[in-house]
A and B are shown apart, each in its own frame.
Chain A
Amino acid sequence: MTDINTIESCVRLTAAEIAEKIASGELTAVQVTEAHLARIEAVDEKVHAFLHVDREGALAQARAVDAKRAAGEKLGPLAGVPLALKDIFTTEGVPTTVGSKILEGWLPPYDATLTKRLKDAGVVILGKTNMDEFAMGSSTENSAYGPTGNPWDLTRIPGGSGGGSSASLASYQAPLAIGTDTGGSIRQPAAVTGTVGVKPTYGGVSRYGMVAFSSSLDQGGPCARTVLDAALLHEVIAGHDPLDSTSIDAPVPPVVEAARNGSVAGMRVGVVRQFRGEGYQAGVVQRFDESVELLKELGAEVVELDCPSFDLALAAYYLIAPSECSSNLARFDAMRYGLRVGDDGSHSAEDVTALTREAGFGDEVKRRVMLGTYALSSGYYDAYYGSAQKVRTLITRDFEKSFEQVDVIVSPTTPTTAFPIGERADDPMAMYLADLCTIPTNLAGNAAMSLPCGLAPEDGLPVGLQIIAPAMKDDRLYKVGAAVEAAFVERWGHPLLEEAPSL
């Protein structure tokens, strides 16, 4: 499959279509993988979505799928479909950097549970995608390996921390990707690249082998170009894992079924008063309001909600996440793996640890480690970490109260469209505001999705619609998401991503 037209058409297929064509024998997994590897070769120099392309590993996995099919074995629903894996999940023998210099060159001796599930399902892992260092950021500019461009406009950010994953989807380098969402790192990149991203219920997808940033908030999840593809991926990666104590021991919600039966008829949809106002771009608000109108047209009842605690979410988040990160990142001490600086016989072990952390961590990571160390210090713990946990309880209660009145909540995913690379790099507060609408969900541990709802008129860039569902009701996201997606595609005449410039 070297024909450029064949490559072009193959990489534009959805994951569901690819799986079907492989199952029917119309395409082989190796052909599909080669097409995507060729696409990566052609465009990733410009996009920089990947930190590492595992050409050999991907082809070996594709060959195994083809051999399985040839042997008449039953293939899983995503067998042979390529995927871009965020560089935060460990992959045995394949570099895993978390976007940090401190893990440069580290080859993990084990697969994350999610990695293992992907492999078991016959999903072909093309490589590891770029991200803000340790998933701390909203633009992927904090990667130690350089920024990623937004395929809609390469001078703009693709969101973060999972900017590599979102950009790989939007530039047709992969039909599926994995992200992780601590404060919005799946949804915000999906929003600004016109793709779909889901943060499952906390505990829905195993964290074993996912390098920790903030343990009580981190959650891996599916990224795709369509709601159905996200659901298919969700089903592969979700489910109880005995190696993760916080993993939920209950059946995975029926997400694929929901995605195939999109509908909002008779549903009550909440709109939260606190998710608008100052800082929200006019075009974002406009597309969001149109989405709410669309939901009404589709038969949903819209209910206005008041969640006063949400105004405190950002502040609480920036105490809890840094606190946990200050402890989680303590293990990077140059003793056992990763970068080691100053080990020249003249420095003590303590010196080497300090020199390595100084050289190996970027500014944002250091900022958060220091914030967290301070917030946990005796004498400050109650005022900072303790108060933040109380806010977390209030937010959970506001959600509980809301979900007594509505089935799902909708909001803009992020207050603005993709901003230019460099614009907020020196202004952490401005950067943090990108996650204003996504953070409450992480603090409460429930489920949320972002999907495209149009282009902002003033800049022609994608706007994301966020759907939030109660914990373990992830299927509602897909039911609503599929209905909205179908209605928009009908209105636009094509998927939104087709309006992106060709690279």
Chain B
Amino acid sequence: MSVVDLVSYEEALATYDPVMGLEVHVELGTKTKMFCGCSTELGAAPNSQTCPTCLGLPGSLPVVNATGVESAVKIGLALNCEIAEWCRFARKNYFYPDMPKNFQTSQYDEPIAYNGYLDVQLADGEIFRVEIERAHMEEDTGKSTHVGGATGRIHGASHSLLDYNRAGIPLIEIVTKPIVGAGGRAPEVAKAYVAELRELIKALQVSEARMEMGQMRCDVNLSLRPHGREKFGTRSETKNVNSLRSVERAVRFEVQRHAAVLNSGGTIVQETRHFHEEDGSTTSGRVKEEAEDYRYFPEPDLVPVAPSRQWVEELRAALPELPRVRRNRLREEWGLSEHDMQSILNAGAIGAIVATIDAGAPADQARKWWMGELARHANESATPLEELPITPEQVARVAELVAAGDLNDKLARQVIEGVLAGEGGPDAVVEQRGLKVVSDEGALGAAVDEAIASNAAIADKIRGGKVAAAGALVGAVMKATRGQADAARVRELILEKLGVG
């Protein structure tokens, strides 16, 4: 990385207020593309999901995906936007090999949703309102892979490969109004906004919004202005900041970099910048010497989109509970602190926990397993929690077995391990691994007798009233039964037999 002068974050904030603009692209989870019938399934062989329309072959024409429009309206409504009564697509003209028609079918001055807001909750519970400028529909481009260069960028590459499977996948671009007043919390607000937006998109079931899969991508625009000044400074546009942590880091880095430039009497260049995951820095991309002229004009191959008011109201009525409202409700129901709830959110465990509770488990048990054993597994295997090969129903069954005394915690962990290893459901794992708690009183009684006999000194102490010493005998019994006894029952038996029950 090139060496960039930075001032400390605190020093930057002493002089300047950050102003942010966030542009988030969400790939919709529709079955087919925005303007043709091709599949949107990820992972197919390159260029296998293409047709004349998404390849931009001469003569081909687009037809709007109705589900795409419905998803856009849902997103707009959830973001408290006004929904256009009549709007058109527009062509954004520029040449690039991954764009088959050399124009992107998008929306320009007539977005389907505009003028809304999203309330985001910061870690300490404070609510920050982020105003939404617009949400509009457009299509994704194909994917370029630049081969032969050192950086994977086109510069220095010997050739490029193009995969048009992604070309035409529906995108919703959500643009905030300038976010002012966040002060030192700007990076946190940016991260919380993107996180909240992601939860919202998932709750609406219009996309899985997985940032690591490129289903949600964020551009961070940032400028600084000295305290008390009304006019915004020149902004930089950091592209493709594709994780929540990166959003926070990119804002922080740009604040420090801008401040250093401004403090030294320099001027900020309006430019595109690349974000680097390795060290959280940004570097200069393309300088926008003159504003790009996309020669937008209304798309003549499509008819206007005019969502009827009745339909919009039907969609509004069917909106799910907003994630933030739901989280706060659950937090109260579960009696948790903001911090604990935040951990659950960060772990991506809310849905799984709720589903486990719905499957019959007590709330504390559901939380315990998902945030403990399962979160650890997810972490170790770098798998999103909800994609672990175990269902909420299975977790609830484990909790049920524990509550019934059939399993203890240690055994339950082994059962979960077995389920995750693909050995079947909890009952099958118990059966195959022979993990049932030893509750046969006869067998247990014999083990207790043996433990007392071989630990006479300890047994005497207990008889003498040192009940705490029973732990050692419990341990011996558990060892003898290879952990398959109910420790509480073992303790009871020991005390009973030694006459101190």
Residues of A within 8 A of B (CB): 89-90, 96, 98, 103, 106, 108-110, 112, 207-212, 214-216, 242-246, 323-324, 326-327, 330-333, 335-337, 349-350, 353, 373, 376-378, 381, 385
Contact = CB atoms under 8 A, between A and B. Distances in A.
B300 A216 contact: yes
A330 B93 contact: yes
Given A108-B57, A243-B61, A245-B64, A331 B162 contact: no
Chain B: interface secondary structure?
loop
12 contacts: A98-B58, A108-B57, A110-B52, A215-B300, A215-B301, A330-B93, A330-B102, A336-B100, A337-B58, A378-B293, A378-B295, A385-B297
A373 B293 CA distance: 10
A90 B58 contact: yes
A89 to B, nearest CB: 7
B61 A207 contact: yes
Nearest to B160: A349
Interface string B298-326: 00111100000000000000000000000
Given A108-B58, A110-B52, A208-B61, 18 more contacts: A96-B58, A98-B58, A103-B58, A209-B60, A210-B59, A245-B62, A245-B302, A246-B301, A326-B93, A327-B91, A327-B297, A330-B93, A331-B56, A332-B58, A335-B162, A337-B58, A378-B293, A385-B297
Nearest to A352: B97
Count chain B CB atoms within 10 A of each CB in A216, A242, A327 and give the residue with the most: A327
A324 to B, nearest CB: 6
A333 B142 CA distance: 15
A353 B296 CA distance: 22
B128 interface: no
A308 B300 CA distance: 26
| The 8 nearest A-B residue pairs measured at CB | A330-B102, A215-B300, A376-B295, A216-B300, A209-B59, A211-B58, A90-B59, A331-B56
B4 interface: no
B293 A377 contact: yes
Interface in B49-77: 52, 55-64
Nearest to A209: B59
B451 to A, nearest CB: 79
Contacts of A214: 300
Contacts of A210: 59
Nearest to A88: B59
Interface string B29-61: 000000000000000000000001001111111
A212 B59 contact: yes
B61 A245 contact: yes
B97 A208 contact: no
Contact of B97 (A106, A242, A335, A337): A335
A330 B52 contact: no
Q: How large is the interface on B (under 10, 10 to 19, 20 to 34, 35 or more residues)?
A: 20 to 34
B93 A331 contact: no
B73 to A, nearest CB: 19
B95 interface: yes
Nearest to A111: B59
Contacts of B59: 89-90, 96, 108, 112, 208-212
B101 interface: yes
Contacts of B57: 90, 108-110, 336-337
Nearest to B291: A378
Interface in B254-296: 291, 293, 295-296
Contact of A327 (B55, B100, B103): B103
B101 to A, nearest CB: 5
Contacts of A96: 58-59
Contacts of A335: 97, 162
A98 B59 CA distance: 10
A254 to B, nearest CB: 25
Nearest to B144: A349
B97 A333 contact: yes
A212 B293 CA distance: 23
B109 to A, nearest CB: 11
Nearest to B56: A331
Count chain B CB atoms within 10 A of each CB in A208, A216, A242, A377 and give the residue with the most: A208
Contacts of A110: 52, 57
B103 A330 contact: yes
Contact of B297 (A90, A103, A109, A376): A376
Contact of A381 (B62, B97, B297): B297
A109 B52 CA distance: 8
A381 B93 CA distance: 14
Interface string B136-167: 00000000000000000000000010100000
A211 B160 CA distance: 28
A417 to B, nearest CB: 33
Contacts of B162: 335
A244 B293 contact: no
A151 to B, nearest CB: 29
B295 A377 contact: yes
B52 to A, nearest CB: 5
Contact of A331 (B58, B160, B301): B58
Interface in B190-209: none
A380 to B, nearest CB: 10
B59 to A, nearest CB: 4
Given A330-B93, A376-B295, A378-B295, A244 B102 contact: no
A89 B58 CA distance: 9
Contacts of A330: 93, 95, 101-103
A327 B93 contact: yes
A246 B58 contact: no
A211 B101 CA distance: 13
A40 to B, nearest CB: 25
B303 A246 contact: yes
A161 to B, nearest CB: 16
B297 A323 contact: yes
Contacts of A89: 59
B61 A331 contact: no
Given A108-B58, A208-B61, A327 B295 contact: yes
Nearest to A334: B97
A349 B97 contact: yes
B101 A331 contact: yes
A243 to B, nearest CB: 6
Contacts of A377: 293, 295
Contacts of B91: 327
Contacts of B303: 245-246
Nearest to A329: B102
Contact of A336 (B56, B103, B295, B302): B56
A385 B90 CA distance: 14
A350 B95 contact: yes
Contacts of B64: 245
B88 to A, nearest CB: 12
B95 to A, nearest CB: 6
B297 A333 contact: no
Nearest to A216: B300
Count chain A CB atoms within 10 A of each CB in B63, B293, B300, B301 and give the residue with the most: B300
A400 B97 CA distance: 44
Nearest to B55: A336
A350 B302 CA distance: 29
B95 A324 contact: no
A335 B160 CA distance: 11
B230 to A, nearest CB: 27
A214 B62 CA distance: 15
B229 to A, nearest CB: 29
Contacts of B63: 242-245
Contacts of A323: 297
Contacts of B302: 245-246
A103 B301 CA distance: 22
B306 to A, nearest CB: 13
Nearest to A242: B63
Contacts of A373: 295
Count chain B CB atoms within 10 A of each CB in A243, A326, A373, A385 and give the residue with the most: A243
A227 B202 CA distance: 60
A497 to B, nearest CB: 32
A385 B296 CA distance: 11
